[in-house]
Structure 1
Amino acid sequence: MAAIGRVVSSSGRFFSPNILRISISRFLKTSSNCRTVMPAWVIDKYGNNDVLRFTKNAIFPIINYPNEVIVKVFAAGLNPMDIHMRGGHGAATMSMKRDPLNMNQAGSEFPLILGREVSGVIMECGLDVKYFKEKDEVWASIPPWKRGSLAEFVVLSANEVSLKPKSLSHTEAAAMPYVANTAWSALVNTGGLTKENCAKKRVLILGGSGGVGTFAIQMLKAWGAHVTVTCAKNAERLVTGLGADHVVDYTAGPVQVPLAALDKFDLILDNIGGSTEHWALNLLKPWSGAKYVTLVTPFLQNTDALGIADGMMQTAATVASRALKHLAKGVHYRWGFFAPSGPALDEIREMVDAGQIHAVVEETFNFTQVPQAFAKVEKGHARGKTVVQISNGGT
Structure 2
Amino acid sequence: MIAIARDTYCEPDQLRLRDMAVPALGADDVLVRVEAAGVDQGVWHVVTGLPYLLRAAGFGLRRPRNPVPGMDVAGRVEAVGANVTRFGPGDEVYGTCDGAFAQFARAGQDKLAPKPAALSFVQAATVPGSGCAALQGLRDAGRLTTGQRVLITGAGGGVGSFAVQVAKAYGAHVTGVCRTAKTEMVRSLGADHVIDHTREDFTAGGVRWDLILDTAGNRSLTRLRRALAPRGTLVIVGGPGGGRVLQGADRQIRAMLLTPFVGQRLTGLMSTQPAADLRTLSDLADSGALTPVVDRTYPLERTADALGHLKTGEPAGKIAITIPPAGAES
Give the TM-score normalised by the residue count of structure 2.
0.90
Residue identity opposite 1:386 in structure 2: I
Question: Contact (CA 8 Å) 2:174, 2:193: kept in 1 or not?
Answer: yes
Question: Contact (CA 8 Å) 1:361, 1:384: kept in 2 or not?
Answer: yes
Structure 2 match to 1:238: 185
Structure 2 match to 1:211: 158
Structure 2 match to 1:279: 223
Which residues in structure 2 correspond to 1:45-84 (within 5 Å)? 45-56=8-19, 58-64=20-26, 66-84=27-45
Which residues in structure 2 correspond to 1:1-395 (within 5 Å)? 38-56=1-19, 58-64=20-26, 66-98=27-59, 108-109=63-64, 112-142=67-97, 147-193=98-144, 198-257=145-204, 260-262=205-207, 264-287=208-231, 290-296=232-238, 303=245, 318-325=254-261, 328=262, 330-391=263-324
Deviations 1:50-99, CA, capped at 9 Å, x for gaps = 3111101x2321123x322111110011112222222221344334425x
Return 5+ residue gaps in structure 2 as ranges.
none
**How far did residue 256 of structure 1 move?**
2.0
Question: Contact (CA 8 Å) 2:202, 2:227: kept in 1 or not?
Answer: no
Question: Contact (CA 8 Å) 2:203, 2:226: kept in 1 or not?
Answer: no
The percentage of counterpart residues that share the same residue type is 28
Q: Secondary structure at the match of 2:212?
A: strand
Give the TM-score normalised by the residue count of structure 1.
0.76
**How far did residue 273 of structure 1 move?**
1.9
Deviations 1:176-222, CA, capped at 9 Å, x for gaps = 111111112212221123xxxx3211100011000111111111111
> How many correspondences in the alignment?
325
Structure 1 pair 107–69 and aligned structure 2 pair: CA distance change class (3 A): farther
Return 5+ residue gaps in structure 1 as ranges.
1-37, 306-311
**How far did residue 285 of structure 1 move?**
1.9
Higher-Rg structure is 1
Question: Contact (CA 8 Å) 1:71, 1:122: kept in 2 or not?
Answer: yes
Question: Contact (CA 8 Å) 2:72, 2:128: kept in 1 or not?
Answer: yes
**How far did residue 107 of structure 1 move?**
7.8
Deviations 1:247-290, CA, capped at 9 Å, x for gaps = 11111154422xx333x211110012243322112222213xx2
Q: Secondary structure at the match of 2:77?
A: strand
Looking at structure 2, the residues matched to 250 and 297 of structure 1 have their Cα atoms a distance apart, in angstroms, of 17
Structure 1 pair 318–384 and aligned structure 2 pair: CA distance change class (3 A): closer
Looking at structure 1, the residues matched to 252 and 211 of structure 2 have their Cα atoms a distance apart, in angstroms, of 23
Residue identity opposite 1:322 in structure 2: L
Structure 1 pair 351–304 and aligned structure 2 pair: CA distance change class (3 A): closer
Looking at structure 1, the residues matched to 133 and 63 of structure 2 have their Cα atoms a distance apart, in angstroms, of 28
**C-alpha root-mean-square deviation of aligned residues, in Å?**
2.6
